[in-house]
A and B are shown apart, each in its own frame.
Chain A
Amino acid sequence: DAKTTQPPSMDCAEGRAANLPCNHSTISGNEYVYWYRQIHSQGPQYIIHGLKNNETNEMASLIITEDRKSSTLILPHATLRDTAVYYCIVPRPLTGGGNKLTFGTGTQLKVEL
């Protein structure tokens, strides 16, 4: 997978927007950016993914820079339940089909009152 770099931890006040950055400077033109999160020791939860354009769903927004070398996950109104480890992943398609997600260390987001 393309190497991603994320800050190890971030804090956010409840009700505020949480902006989680990710650098993926070696990303290739056909590789997507995926975001997952893990709350406590639950299974990783899919949040959002994108290729070039900004994306938004009911959980979050994903802003990808024009050169695609970095992206930001935005939780518009963070709540205490958003406290989790957030993973930015760029899976690399393999020749012949298939690939897998490779998780790094992620960003521990702590949402506080």
Chain B
Amino acid sequence: GEEVAQTPKHLVRGEGQKAKLYCAPIKGHSYVFWYQQVLKNEFKFLISFQNENVFDETGMPKERFSAKCLPNSPCSLEIQATKLEDSAVYFCASSQSTHISGNTIYFGEGSWLTVV
């Protein structure tokens, strides 16, 4: 597609439940990025992929967060045993290259996760 598509737009989970978010990158884009934004504050980089391979996961809280990009499937970000502090908007982005110089990263509209 011509845009980064994220689903669901809104998700409510009770504390301790699992949450799974999906992202379909722009067609032809090999690189996918996940960011977390809590309460309109600064964006936190979580993880990036080159096709199905993890490229950079320095921002991932590994104990409860996991992500995948499998061939012919939307990418996913999964949070096991959600906590109140996981309430945030999760943005997915894609680009033709992670070598950003001269390239552009395009963002989806985000998935709002509310943990109650």
Contact = CB atoms under 8 A, between A and B. Distances in A.
A and B co-occur in one complex: yes
Interface residues of A, number: 24
Interface stretch (A14-22, A65-73, A74-82, A99-107): A99-107
Interface residues of B, number: 30
Contacts of A42: 109-110
Given A41-B89, A43-B107, A46-B106, A93 B42 contact: no
B91 to A, nearest CB: 6
Contacts of B93: 43-44, 101
Given A44-B91, A46-B104, A105-B42, A99 B99 contact: yes
The secondary structure that dominates the A interface is: loop
Contacts of B33: 100-101
Given A41-B89, A43-B109, A105-B42, A100 B104 contact: no
B99 A100 contact: no
A98 B43 contact: no
Nearest to B92: A43
Contacts of B97: 97
B100 A43 contact: no
B101 A32 contact: yes
B108 interface: yes
B104 A49 contact: yes
A41 B45 contact: no
A46 B100 CA distance: 13
B66 interface: no
B114 interface: no
Contact of A100 (B4, B40, B48, B91): B48
B89 to A, nearest CB: 6
Contacts of B100: 32, 34, 91, 93, 99-101
A112 to B, nearest CB: 20
Contact of A43 (B42, B50, B91): B91
Contacts of B42: 103-105
Contacts of A31: 101
Interface of A: 30-32, 34, 36, 41-46, 49, 51, 91, 93, 97-105
